[in-house]
């Protein structure tokens, strides 16, 4: 618990320090127009990559935590107390910390941070020129949907498999009374795993569908305005994916 | 109605999301290790009613 707390707060502190300029612009404390072009370009690239960097740092912290608790701690225990480490158990623990905890945390943080950070993107790009920033990380709509569909379909399967395998191992050694207890606990576990996975799938699906549908709705409304003859209509560009390119093209078209 | 946020709201929101995300991950990891991979610790003492069966 202490180790996890130290890792969490150190990662939050590092992110706060490294991204302070971005927060200043996002909170309207500093204008991007008052900076020289090289600094502005760097900050624009950082702004586009911000959700990815935050999620990436969190995932790295989880990998580090997995390494410490799965490999370093058994080695220290061996040195101090002479307890022989079991490599299979270490690998199982590493898988649990990084693949279960790390991946879910990184996905949740990426999509929630991106949703809120999109409000700040127009402050970095008053002209809406996101496509001018070269070499910035770009999560295309295709990849975004693919990642979420793979995550929500692949995470429950190993969890259910591991739960069933663990209980099958225990059943093999158990007597009649213990077997009935194990079977009833397996039933409860399957229900709990299914409920958690369904809830996580719904939350992730909502975030992803909104990240695609909201910008498209804005373009649709803007097109209706243009149809009525309002050629001053512009749409805020909040991403550098295909939808951002379409929005940028729309703004150029009605200019 | 225009919604006015605090001066440092974005920093607070992002920090809050990071903490919440990590907390969710920590809880799920705890559940994974305590409920899924841990073999159920059943009661080892057989009740007197069944005791004769396990002599």
pLDDT along chain B (55 residues), means of 10: 56 89 88 72 53 55
What's the Cα-to-Cα distance from A238 to each of A13, B2, B8, rounded to whole Å? 27, 21, 20
Handedness of CA A115, A15, A101, A138 (dihedral sign): positive
Shortest CA gap A148–chain B (Å): 16
Shortest CA gap A253–chain B (Å): 30
Joined tokens for residue A124: 């970095």
Q: Residue holding tokens 């498999």?
A: A161
- The residue length of chain B stands at 55
In this structure, of A10-24, A148-162, A213-227, the range with the lowest mean pLDDT score is A10-24
Handedness of CA A27, A28, A30, A31 (dihedral sign): positive
| Three-state secondary structure call for residue A43 | helix
The answer to whether B51 contacts chain A (CB < 8 Å) is no
The answer to whether B54 contacts chain A (CB < 8 Å) is yes
Q: Please answer yes or no on whether B26 and A117 come within 8 Å at the CB atom.
A: no
What's the mean per-residue pLDDT of chain A?
86
The answer to whether B16 contacts chain A (CB < 8 Å) is no
What's the Cα-to-Cα distance from A124 to each of A40, A50, A127, A188, B11, rounded to whole Å? 8, 12, 9, 50, 16
Q: Which positions in chain A touch B17 (Cβ < 8 Å)?
A: 109, 112-113, 116
pLDDT of A251 over the 80 cut: yes
To 10 degrees, the CA torsion angle through A212, A214, A218, A221? 110
pTM for this one? 0.81
pLDDT of A35 over the 60 cut: yes
Joined tokens for residue A96: 């649990």
Give me the pLDDT at residue A87, please: 85
């Amino acid at each position: 618990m202490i180790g996890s707390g130290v890792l969490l707060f150190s990662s939050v502190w590092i992110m706060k320090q490294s991204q302070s300029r971005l927060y200043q612009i996002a909170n309207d404390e500093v204008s991007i127009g008052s900076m020289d072009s090289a600094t502005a370009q760097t900050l624009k690239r950082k702004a586009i990559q911000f959700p990815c960097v935050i999620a990436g740092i969190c995932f790295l912290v989880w990998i580090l935590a997995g390494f410490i608790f799965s490999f370093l701690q058994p080695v220290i225990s061996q040195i101090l107390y002479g307890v022989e480490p079991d490599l299979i158990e270490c690998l199982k623990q590493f898988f649990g910390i990084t693949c279960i905890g790390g991946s879910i945390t990184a996905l949740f943080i990426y999509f929630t941070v991106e949703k809120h950070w999109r409000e700040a993107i127009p402050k970095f790009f008053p002209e809406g020129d996101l496509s001018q920033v070269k070499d910035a990380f770009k999560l295309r709509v295709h990849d975004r949907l693919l990642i979420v569909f793979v995550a929500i379909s692949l995470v429950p399967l190993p969890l259910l498999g591991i739960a069933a395998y663990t209980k099958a191992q225990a059943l093999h050694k158990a007597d009649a009374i213990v077997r009935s207890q194990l079977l009833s606990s397996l039933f409860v576990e399957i229900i709990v795993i299914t409920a958690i996975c369904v809830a996580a799938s719904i939350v992730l699906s909502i975030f992803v569908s909104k990240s695609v549908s909201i910008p498209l709705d804005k373009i649709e409304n803007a097109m209706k305005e243009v149809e009525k003859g309002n050629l001053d209509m512009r749409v805020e560009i909040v991403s550098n994916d295909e939808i951002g390119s379409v929005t940028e093209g729309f703004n150029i078209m009605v200019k | 109605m225009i919604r006015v946020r605090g001066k440092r709201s974005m920093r607070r929101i992002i920090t809050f999301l990071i903490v919440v995300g990590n907390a969710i991950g920590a809880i799920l990891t705890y559940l994974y290790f305590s409920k899924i991979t841990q073999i159920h610790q059943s009661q080892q003492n057989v009740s007197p009613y069944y005791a004769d069966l396990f002599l």
